């Protein structure tokens, strides 16, 4: 793969997350009965950043959780045969709550479908909303995000690479072309 172009730098990521936090507050008329859940791996860190921003804006700490979708994926047989379940950690009960599901990139929609299955196995939320840093299109399932940091039209031969400081030592989103 070769690096094609940077589409979001650290400042753009920070601004996008701040905007998404405001949109979450506005759409839900506050954050009462909301839970923010990040899809492992990078969705967790984005969820934590959203919680921090919402706390700065509303002075309310929203519960945050982590969702491992490893065994809910429909492509598990095509992935590593040694798939490792890292475990989910959801705050309290999700039944009756508004769950804001967070991921880094929305592509085919299959990751979100797996996350929805995992969530439903843990309770019956009143509502599930989806927040993504990047929506790159090419959906294979009828899934649409409620909150988007950036819409990036891509070719199927491209990869959107999200790097976050917590795991990658820098905040940057770039598009890479498959060779």
Residue 164 to residue 170: CA distance in whole angstroms: 5
CATH code at position 48: 3.40.50.2020
User: What is the pLDDT averaged over residues 20-39?
Assistant: 98
Beta strand 158-163 pairing with 172-177 = antiparallel
Query: Has residue 170 been placed in a domain?
Result: no
Report the number of distinct structural domains present in the chain. 1
34 CA to centre of own chain: 16
Query: Has residue 6 been placed in a domain?
Result: no
Query: Has residue 166 been placed in a domain?
Result: no
User: What is the pLDDT averaged over residues 55-82?
Assistant: 83
Beta bridge partners of 35: 99
Query: Has residue 15 been placed in a domain?
Result: yes
Whole-prediction pTM value?
0.92
What digits encode the pLDDT tens for the residues 131-161? 999 999 999 999 999 999 999 999 999 999 9
Q: Retrieve residue 5's tokens.
A: 């172009």
Return mean pLDDT, the chain.
Answer: 92
- Residue among 49, 70, 64, 1 at smallest CA distance from 149: 49
Range of the domain at 144: 11-73+88-154
What digits encode the pLDDT tens for the residues 84-135? 555 678 877 899 999 999 999 999 999 999 999 999 999 999 999 999 999 9
Query: Has residue 160 been placed in a domain?
Result: no
């Amino acid at each position: 793969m070769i690096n094609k172009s940077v589409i979001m730098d650290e400042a753009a990521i920070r601004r996008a997350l701040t905007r998404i936090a405001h949109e979450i507050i506005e759409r839900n008329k506050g954050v009462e009965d909301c839970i923010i859940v990040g899809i492992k791996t990078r969705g967790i860190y984005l969820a934590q950043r959203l919680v921090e921003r919402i706390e700065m804006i509303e002075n309310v700490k929203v519960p945050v959780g982590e969702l491992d979708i490893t065994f809910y994926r429909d492509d598990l047989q095509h992935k590593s045969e040694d798939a490792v379940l890292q475990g989910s950690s959801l705050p309290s009960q999700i039944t009756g709550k508004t769950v804001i599901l967070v991921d880094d990139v929305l592509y085919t929609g299959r990751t979100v479908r797996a996350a929805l299955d995992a969530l439903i196995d843990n309770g019956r939320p009143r509502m599930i909303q989806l927040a993504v840093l990047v929506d790159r299109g090419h959906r294979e399932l009828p899934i649409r995000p409620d909150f988007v940091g950036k819409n990036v039209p891509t070719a199927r031969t491209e990869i959107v690479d999200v790097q976050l400081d917590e795991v990658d030592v820098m905040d940057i989103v770039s598009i890479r072309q498959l060779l």
